[in-house]
Amino acid sequence: MFGGEGTMGPQLRELERGCDLLIATPGRLHDLIERGRIDMHDVFTLILDEADRMLDMGFEPQIRRIVEQTSMPRCEEGRQTLMFSATFPPAIQHLAQDFLRDYTFLTVGRVGSTTDNITQRFEFMEQADKPHVLMDILTAAPKSESSSDRKELTLIFVETKRDADILEDELNHQGFNATSIHGDRSQPERQEALRSFKAGRTPYLVATDVASRGLDIPDVSHVINYDCPSDFDSYVHRIGRTGRAGRTGTATAFLTSRDGRIAQQLITLLQEANQDVPDELHRMSSMSGGRYGGGSRGGGRHESWKDARESAGPSQKWGGSGGGSWGGGREQREPARSNTVSAAGSSKLMTTGSNNLTDFMMQAAAKAPPPKAAPVADSWDDDKGGGDWWDED
What backbone phi and psi angles, to 5 degrees, belong to 222? -145, 125
Quick one: pLDDT band at residue 22, thresholds 50, 70, 90? very high
- Find the range with the poorest average confidence among 27-36, 235-244, 324-333: 324-333
For the chain, the first-to-last Cα distance in angstroms comes to 12
Render pLDDT for 325-354 as a digit per residue (tens, 0 to 9): 333 333 333 344 333 333 444 444 444 444
Cα separation, 342 vs 270, in Å, equals 21
Return the DSSP state at 184: T
What is the share, in percent, of the chain residues with pLDDT greater than 90?
Answer: 26
pLDDT at 312 > cutoff 80: no
Cα separation, 372 vs 57, in Å, equals 8
Q: What is the pLDDT of residue 114?
A: 64
pLDDT at 276 > cutoff 80: yes
Q: What is the pLDDT of residue 57?
A: 63
Q: Taking the domains of the chain in order of start, what are their residue ranges?
A: 8-111+341-382, 118-312
Q: Which of 181-185, 311-315, 329-333 has the highest mean pLDDT?
A: 181-185
Mean pLDDT of 232-236: 87
Mean pLDDT of 226-243: 87
Q: What is the pLDDT of residue 144?
A: 54
Q: Which of 53-67, 115-129, 336-350 has the highest mean pLDDT?
A: 115-129
- Asked if 51 contacts 100 with a C-beta cutoff of 8 angstroms, the reply is no
Full 3-state SS string of 286-310: HCCCCCCCCCCCCCCCCCCHHHHHH
Are 8-111+341-382 and 118-312 equal in CATH topology?
A: yes
Instruction: Tell me which residue of 154, 158, 326, 330 sits closest to 228, measured CA to CA.
Output: 158
Q: What is the pLDDT of residue 143?
A: 65
Render pLDDT for 131-174 as a digit per residue (tens, 0 to 9): 999 999 999 887 655 445 668 899 999 999 999 999 999 999 99
pLDDT at 182 > cutoff 80: yes
Angle at alpha carbon of residue 18, lines to 13 and 24, rounded to 5°: 75
| CATH of region 118-312, choose from 3.30.310.50, 2.40.50.180, 3.40.50.300, 3.40.718.10 | 3.40.50.300
- Asked if 383 contacts 392 with a C-beta cutoff of 8 angstroms, the reply is yes
pLDDT at 253 > cutoff 90: yes
Mean pLDDT of 115-123: 85
Q: What is the pLDDT of residue 113?
A: 58
The overall average pLDDT reported for the chain is: 74
- Asked if 184 contacts 118 with a C-beta cutoff of 8 angstroms, the reply is no
Of residues 163 and 85, the one with the higher pLDDT is 163
| CATH of region 8-111+341-382, choose from 3.40.50.300, 3.30.2030.30, 2.40.30.10, 3.40.50.1980 | 3.40.50.300
Mean pLDDT of 101-116: 72
Mean pLDDT of 6-29: 88
